[in-house]
Structures are given as structure tokens and as C-alpha cells.
Structure 1
Amino acid sequence: MEKGGRASYEWQRRIVRRLGAVRAVALFTLVSTVVSLAITAVAMTLDGIEDPFLGYIIAIIVPVVLTPPITGMQFALIERLDEAERALHRLARTDELTGLPNRRALMEAGEGMLRHPRTGRRTMALLFVDVDHFKHINDTHGHVVGDQVLRHLARRIDGGLRETDLLCRFGGEEFAALLPDTDEQTAAEVAERLRHTAAATPVRAREEEGPAIPVTLSLGLAAAHAESVDDIHGLIDRADRAVYAAKDAGRDTVVPLSAIREGA
């Protein structure tokens, strides 16, 4: 699409987004009618026409008849394209299995928090959650049950977080939660609560008929002041090191990054 055509399309899309296709058609019809009347008035004045009534009638009828079907099809197409674009945007940032945001969504949200910190938002924490011995669950119960376990854990973990927190499936059996306005101590308390809940309540696969599967979690976390982190990759690397330390420590535990530094 050429630059001029692209600019025109974006301008029309903004109008359709703001008003909707039906109202946009009505607006364009009104504007077309006013312009038609103005041009007709000027033309008849220059030609010295003494009885302009018929000319004005034609100036009204033509845009009223022609504008709605032409702009209606165009704006309906723009609206459908816009909806499809939003749907693709959501799909690209949603994990198909759990319905949670995916890694890309977490990265974008984290970068947004770092670039545009709200007033009072000085700390942020990243919590990594790894399902212990998940391969054993798959090998013992099958991948279908393994998927059910992940979906169940996604709901359980998300239910233990605040509405302002962002939980995503980071990959495989690993989840990550971005906690704004949260220091390391508070994040550790959240992580310990999630760990305890998971260990105390086995996952029952296939609703009430399936076996109760014990599940434990290894959790690593890192927190930092927004100004001390260049990008979200740095915070991810810190939380990743912490969760590996939790697994090395025997699993079913919470390890803050500061604990690794103190033990080093």
C-alpha cells in the first residue's frame, strides 16, 4: 500500500474505531451532502440560475443514495479487518493450552512497566514457577493428563495472585508471574503461599474420576527497582537462576535471588 493510501486507510480506521461502521457511514453521508450542496450552490450562482430548487434536490439525493452503499462496504471491511487484527494480536500473545498470556505477552508487559513506570511504582518482582518432576507425570499418566495438570495449575496459581499481577505460561511446565509494586520479601510470601497450596492439594485429573496426582512446585524469584533494570531480559535471567537454585536445593521450595548471593 502506498504511503498516501496507507494514511487514508489509517484515518478511516480511526473513525470506524471511534464511531463504529454505521455511525461512520452516517457521518460521511452528512459530510458528502453538505459538500454537494456547497458545490451546487457555487455552481448555480456562477451560472446565474434563478430557480435552484431542483439543483439542491439533486445535490441532496445523489450523496444520500450513493454514499451509504459505497462507504458502508468499505467501513464494514475495515471493521472486520480491525477485528481480525485484534484477534491475531491476542492469539500471538496467548498460550493455547492454558489460555494464559504467553512469554511474548510477559516480555511486552515487563518492558512497558520499565519504560513507563507509574508514580509510586519503584519495584517489580518476577516469579518463576516450575512443576516438579513433570516428565514423571507425563510418563505415568499420559500427556493428556499432563495437559490437564498444567491447566489446573494455571487456574490455581492465577487465583493466588492479585488482579494487577500477570501470570503467563513461560514454556513447557514453567510459569512466570510479573508482580508490579512488589519487593522481594512480599514476592517470597506470595511464592511460599503458592507452593504450600500446590503441595497440600493434589490435582485430580479427569474431574472426580481420575487419580489424585500430588504436585509440588519449585519457585525462584527476583525483585529490583525499575531504574536498576535495563530491560526485562535482565530480570528474567535473575529469576531463572533462582528457580534453578530451587530445583538444585531439592525442589518443592522457594529461593529468592538474594539467597543465592548470600550463599555464594
Structure 2
Amino acid sequence: MACAEDVLSLPSIRVLFEEEHWPEAQRRYNHAIETGIPTPPEVINHMDLKGNPMIAEITDKVIDWYGEKAMCTFVSVVTDQIRRERTLRDMANRDDLTNLYNRRYLLDLFSERHAAQQRRQYLAMADIDHFKRINDTFGHPVGDLVLRRFAQEIEDFTAPDEYAFRLGGEEFALLIWADNHTEATTRLERLRVAVQDCEVRVSHPNSQPLSIGCTISIGATVLEATEDFLTASLRADEALYIAKKTGRNRVINYDASAEDKPDIG
């Protein structure tokens, strides 16, 4: 544990904060000195005097120090508290069965989207084909195994900066990046084939293990800048409907510029 002398011997308290926080810290200090108003609490990445990473809540207050203005910074270590909060928040954003993100988190991500995207982002809606038949034939516990297996496939498919969601039942969604329509379609085709080729093996007492396969239908659309989820999902759902109507086990990528869209009437 550091003592007061250790802290006072530092050339500047900012060495305890990650360098990316320095400009904002300077702005906070300047504002506090000019106005005399304490800065609001802010949670930042922090290091102790041994260089160990921590999470700290800081508050700055202007004080009189022998007739001169001085800045007093209060640093409270909140690492455990913040980690607990993050864990609880992550749990609230996850589907219990598959551990994929849920619909609520998908809506949150849409509300945070911004126009300055370097690549094009696509929304894909995916349904497991004839899933009710799997439940009716083998029972809901087996259906849950199929859902978990499919969830693993789409989680493996997504890149670190992409997202997979379970919306409910056998309905899933993805947010993926691609440079163009063709790349997005090609990637989703790879996912479709991967699901088609995988099986869920189920042991049965006094009988041979069962191998249960499934296929998926996917409807996708490129996301326009700052559009809301409802607008984008209507296009993706239209593409998904076409995929199901025209035989299932296929990918339809909605192309607003195409002159001859498939007939869905």
C-alpha cells in the first residue's frame, strides 16, 4: 500500500492514469480551476504505484493552498465494484440458453450506431428450418441441444468486432462487416454450409445414438447510416421470407438497387 510520501514524490499524479486519459484530465482540471466547481466523478483505468492496472473513480476539487489555488484529486479504487457491475450487465444482455446476446442488446447497439463507418455493416436474420419438427419428434431437451449447437456455429463464425444474437425460439440475428454485397453473401453462405454439415449426436438408452442435423435460412441487408432497427429488420425479414418460400436452406441478401427482386406475393 502506498503512503502519502510516495504519492507526493511523483512528478505528476497523471502518471497514475493511462496516457489516453491525460487530455481529458487536463480539460477537467482547467474547468475546475476556472469555475471553482468540483469535477463530477469519472471512472477511468488507473495504475497503482507498482504499475498494476486498476479501475479508479476520480473527483477533482479546487482548494486554497497557502493562499494559492491548488487541485486536490480524490482517487477511489473501484475495481471490484465495476467488474461486478460489468458482469451483471453482461448477464442481462445474454440469452440464458445459448449465451449469445439477446434482443435487448441488439436494440442497444442500434441506438449507438454512427454514420462514420469505414466498412459496411450487415444485419442478417437466421431461422433454423423446420425446428418445430425437431421439437415434436425428439422433444424439447433435444431441441435445446440443437439451439446450443447452432449458437456455437454462429459464434465461431463472427469476428471479434461482430455480434451474434438469439432473438427467441429458433430465430437468430447477426451484425457482420463486409466491404460489399458479394462479400457479405459469400460469408453467410459459408455459415449456411457449416450448419448444414454439422450434426448433434444424442445418446438414447438401449439404442444407437441419434445424429440430428439441421439447415438454416438467412435473410440479410446492408445497414444504412444511422437507420433504426425496425427499418433494417423489415428488409432482412423480407429477404428471410424469400429464402424460406423458395426452398429454405439458402441465403438471400436484400439488394435495394436490384431491378428484379424475387416475387414474394
Q: Aligning the two structures, in what range does the TM-score lie when normalised by the shorter sequence?
A: 0.5 to 0.7
**CA distance in structure 1 between the partners assigned to 2:151 and 2:112 by the alignment:** 24
Residue from 150, 153, 164 that aligns with 1:153 = 150
Cα contact 1:182–1:223 (8 A) shared by 2: no
Cα contact 1:132–1:215 (8 A) shared by 2: yes
**CA distance in structure 2 between the partners assigned to 1:186 and 1:197 by the alignment:** 17
Cα contact 2:177–2:184 (8 A) shared by 1: no
Mapping of 1:1-264 within 5 angstroms?
11=41, 14=43, 18=46, 81-113=81-113, 115=114, 117-118=116-117, 120-121=118-119, 123-205=120-202, 210-226=209-225, 230-258=227-255, 262-264=261-263
Cα contact 1:152–1:203 (8 A) shared by 2: yes
Q: Which runs of 5+ in 1 are unaligned?
A: 1-6, 29-34, 40-70
Specify which structure has the bigger relative contact order, considering alpha-carbon pairs within 8 angstroms and separated by 6 or more residues. 1
| 1:181 Cα offset (Å) | 4.1
**CA distance in structure 1 between the partners assigned to 2:101 and 2:38 by the alignment:** 33
Cα contact 2:43–2:55 (8 A) shared by 1: no
Equivalent position amino acid for 1:138 in 2: N
C-alpha distance 10-138 of structure 1, shift in aligned 2 (>3 A): farther
Q: Which runs of 5+ in 2 are unaligned?
A: 1-36, 49-53, 67-73
**CA distance in structure 2 between the partners assigned to 1:241 and 1:260 by the alignment:** 16
| 1:110 Cα offset (Å) | 3.2
Equivalent position amino acid for 2:94 in 1: T
| 1:126 Cα offset (Å) | 0.9
Cα contact 1:149–1:205 (8 A) shared by 2: no
| 1:84 Cα offset (Å) | 3.7
**CA distance in structure 2 between the partners assigned to 1:102 and 1:162 by the alignment:** 18
Which residue is equivalent to 2:4?
A: none
Cα contact 2:106–2:165 (8 A) shared by 1: yes
Cα contact 1:184–1:256 (8 A) shared by 2: yes
**CA distance in structure 2 between the partners assigned to 1:169 and 1:24 by the alignment:** 32
| 1:98 Cα offset (Å) | 0.8
C-alpha distance 8-251 of structure 1, shift in aligned 2 (>3 A): farther
C-alpha distance 260-177 of structure 1, shift in aligned 2 (>3 A): farther
My pick for the range that moved more, 179-188 or 217-226, is 179-188
Superimposed CA distance per residue, residues 73-106 of structure 1 (whole angstroms, 9 cap, x where no aligned partner):
xx68x65553443223112211111111111222
- Give the share of equivalent positions with the same residue, in percent: 32
C-alpha distance 99-182 of structure 1, shift in aligned 2 (>3 A): farther
**CA distance in structure 1 between the partners assigned to 2:124 and 2:259 by the alignment:** 15
**CA distance in structure 2 between the partners assigned to 1:24 and 1:162 by the alignment:** 28
**Could you tell me the TM-score, scaled by structure 2's length?**
0.65
Higher percent of residues as strand: 2
DSSP-derived class of the 2:112 partner: helix
**CA distance in structure 1 between the partners assigned to 2:229 and 2:223 by the alignment:** 11
| 1:163 Cα offset (Å) | 2.5
**CA distance in structure 2 between the partners assigned to 1:179 and 1:14 by the alignment:** 30
**Could you tell me the TM-score, scaled by structure 1's length?**
0.65
Larger Rg: 1
C-alpha distance 260-222 of structure 1, shift in aligned 2 (>3 A): farther
C-alpha distance 24-211 of structure 1, shift in aligned 2 (>3 A): closer
| 1:133 Cα offset (Å) | 0.9
Q: How many residues align?
A: 209
Cα contact 2:55–2:79 (8 A) shared by 1: no
DSSP-derived class of the 2:82 partner: helix
Cα contact 2:163–2:175 (8 A) shared by 1: yes
Cα contact 1:198–1:216 (8 A) shared by 2: yes
